[in-house]
Structure 1
Amino acid sequence: MQVDRVPPGATDAEFSAYVRSAQELDFTLQDLKAAIPAHCFQPSVLKSLAYFFLDLGIIAALYAVAHAINSWLFFPVFWLAQGTMFWALFVVGHDCGHGSFSRYKWLNSLVGHLSHTPILVPYHGWRISHRTHHANTGNIDTDESWYPMDESTYQAMPWAQKMVRFYGALFAYPFYLFFRSSGRSGSHFMPSSPLFRPSERRDVLVSTLCWSATVVFLAWVGLTQGLLFLATYYIAPYLVFIVWLDLVTFLHHTEPDIPWYRGDEWYFLKGALSTIDRDYGFINPIHHNIGTHVAHHIFLAIPHYHLKTATEAIKPILGDYYRRSEEPVWKSFARSFWACHYVADQGAKVYYQPHPSYRQ
């Protein structure tokens, strides 16, 4: 039996989970990998850089147009467009964090910082916690991103925490960076955080210093140009970016019929299949087809520009294990926003239970 790929720095337990995933389903990771054209696993430096510079070019052009027009009639359009491009730039850094931008670690780190630092994301801090998410997807106990809580924990939560976690979900990301998420502590900025291994602390410090320099620069812009200028040209697009990030991440992993696992019921491949592809319409190519998420969770080294091809190759093998929603994303979000708050306290395989106030 062959095991295709384990997460970077996988523990013995994670490796064993990969082995078991090849034993318990009627298809293996090797079956899925063999079905995908080999070129899908090969990033192109030129193509990856082209997407990076295209995003930067569009961002620069939007700034130039907004400054030239300088009209409050146009600024809302600018905020929406620029915030969306900030999100697209984040996705480029996302590829860097997975090593799917290029095979050169130094280039991934360079472009990752250039993509994430201007939008106030600490690249290495995020990269490391995101690695944990991918190694534990679908595991209630160890997943890192948008994992459910059990009912008793939910009922015991202070109202303010519920407001941030559930009703302020689309603006939660900055809080997550500083405080992590419900029931799990750790800052993405502190090298001593339990999120990181001792060997990773230098990288975290570098990203935190880059992030801090950006904050100082933005403060200087606010002092010299005025807070209204800073809010118009940076804060408003940044908030749109945050909404995009939280919306898409939430929709990847939150749906009433997506199972979550505890204990020995969980293993990597089954957990990786606890996600769903979404159709964002004309936005798909703008944010680099990030809605093509199932294949990404199975093989995180595939560059974003090969994910659609990889998905079509593995769909016949996955069968009913492949999930894709064709309904409008706003409708899916509205349903999951109200219905997906907690899971049962007990059970090895569980689903979100609707809140008592939820009505379909």
Structure 2
Amino acid sequence: MTKERLKTLKKQISPYEKSNTKQSVFQLINTFVPFFGLWYLAYLSLDISYFLTLAISVVAGGFLIRIFIIFHDCCHHSFFKNRKANKVVGTISGVLTIFPYSAWAHDHSVHHATSSNLDKRGTGDIWVLTVDEYLASPFLTRIGYRIYRNPIVMFGIGPIYTFLIKNRFNRKGAKMKERMNTYLTNVSIVALYTGMCFLIGWEAFVLVQAPIFLISGAAGIWLFYVQHTFEDSYFEEDENWEYVKAAVEGSSFYKLPKLLQWMTGNIGYHHVHHLSPRVPNYQLEAAHENSEPLKNVPTITLSTSLHSLKFRLWDEEKKMFVGYKGLKEKMAEKNKEKNHLTPSAK
């Protein structure tokens, strides 16, 4: 794909950047109503069988992911035309998903502006080291990195730490409005959870809410992970980094079955979203289908996405993700070069 064609892509999808109030309201109804209904059914099922409760929790967790997509769109001001409406719905959605609206909107905008930029990592993204960085890192850093990238930690402990702990604090340098929104979200979460505990008892609340939280949290982090972690992704240093290339080549098209595509708010069309965050989730598929170049972007499926679990480091020379086994090859190559240069040095 030439640079000229890459530059015209954004213009091609501009017609899909406008939100539709009727579609947005309808999505609120077909997302929030089923979620609350399923939550109540899960509560009622506690008197029947906890296995039934867990089964209902899986579906409810899917709708909570869909609520997060609405929250996500509001953070980009793409769900409604009115910015205040986005903030109100986004803040409410943030209480349910345990995310502070203003703080996450800031970090996520930084993620979009720096995604795949090797010189600007660290805000709103997953920790990625290059092969050379890993080899040059102290022993404790390497151990910490391996623990962080372990699937059990990333998709199990990760949601607990990120959602319950990290999201409760403001970033350094946050403006007053952002800080106040975080405080409002925290107070609202405490009030909601306390009220539910008084209403149905803390045991019942935990038995219902915990699996929904864990399932949606693990699935949410998985979606974010596979959207940027695939073999032939795109990473460049700042001087060679290009926004459009980072969007089209550094963000995957996660081709999911229709039901899962709907449940995840079309976020599998992540390449379209990174190309233009102003496209609301219900327009992403149309933007993809009506732009021929976008049909040739990196595509992963449910089965092929599992290969992403073995990718740990970015190899700058090969321009691809590799596993820890790739370190042996890299070290062997360096030793070979070192041995080759040693005689001449003498």
TM-score range, shorter chain: 0.7 to 0.9
Residue pairs, 1:93-242, within 5 angstroms:
93-143=71-121, 144-151=124-131, 153-154=133-134, 156=139, 157=141, 159=143, 162-167=146-151, 168-171=153-156, 172-176=158-162, 188-193=167-172, 196=174, 200-219=175-194, 221-222=196-197, 225-242=200-217
**Change beyond 3 A, Cα 1:188–1:267:** farther
Q: Secondary structure at the match of 1:110?
A: helix
Q: Cα distance, 1:350 vs. partner?
A: 3.3
Q: What CA distance in whole angstroms lies between the structure 2 residues aligned with 1:318 and 1:68?
A: 46
- The amino acid that maps onto 1:107 is A
**117-126 or 208-217: bigger deviation:** 208-217
Q: Do the aligned residues in 1 keep the contact of 2:103 with 2:171 (CA within 8 Å)? A: no
Q: Which structure carries more helix by proportion?
A: 2
Residue pairs, 1:18-167, within 5 angstroms:
25-29=3-7, 31-36=8-13, 38=15, 40-70=16-46, 71=48, 72-143=50-121, 144-151=124-131, 153-154=133-134, 156=139, 157=141, 159=143, 162-167=146-151
Q: Deviations over 1:44-79 (max 9, x none)?
A: 122112111221100121123223333223111111
**221-230 or 234-243: bigger deviation:** 221-230
Q: Secondary structure at the match of 2:150?
A: helix
Which runs of 5 or more residues in structure 1 are unaligned? 1-23, 180-186
Q: What CA distance in whole angstroms lies between the structure 2 residues aligned with 1:154 and 1:173?
A: 25
**Change beyond 3 A, Cα 1:319–1:334:** closer
Q: Do the aligned residues in 1 keep the contact of 2:99 with 2:167 (CA within 8 Å)? A: no
Residue 261 of structure 2, aligned match among 271, 274, 284: 284
Q: How many residues align?
A: 314
- TM-score when normalising by structure 1: 0.78
**Change beyond 3 A, Cα 1:219–1:333:** farther
Q: Do the aligned residues in 2 keep the contact of 1:125 with 1:207 (CA within 8 Å)? A: yes
1:341 aligns with 2:312: yes
Q: Secondary structure at the match of 1:285?
A: helix
Q: Do the aligned residues in 1 keep the contact of 2:312 with 2:321 (CA within 8 Å)? A: yes
Q: Do the aligned residues in 2 keep the contact of 1:140 with 1:148 (CA within 8 Å)? A: no
Q: Deviations over 1:100-125 (max 9, x none)?
A: 10121100000001111122111111
Which runs of 5 or more residues in structure 2 are unaligned? 328-346
Please name the residue that 1:355 is paired with: 324
- The amino acid that maps onto 1:228 is E
Q: Do the aligned residues in 2 keep the contact of 1:149 with 1:342 (CA within 8 Å)? A: yes
**141-150 or 302-311: bigger deviation:** 141-150
- TM-score when normalising by structure 2: 0.81
Q: Secondary structure at the match of 1:352?
A: strand
Q: What CA distance in whole angstroms lies between the structure 1 residues aligned with 2:237 and 2:150?
A: 22
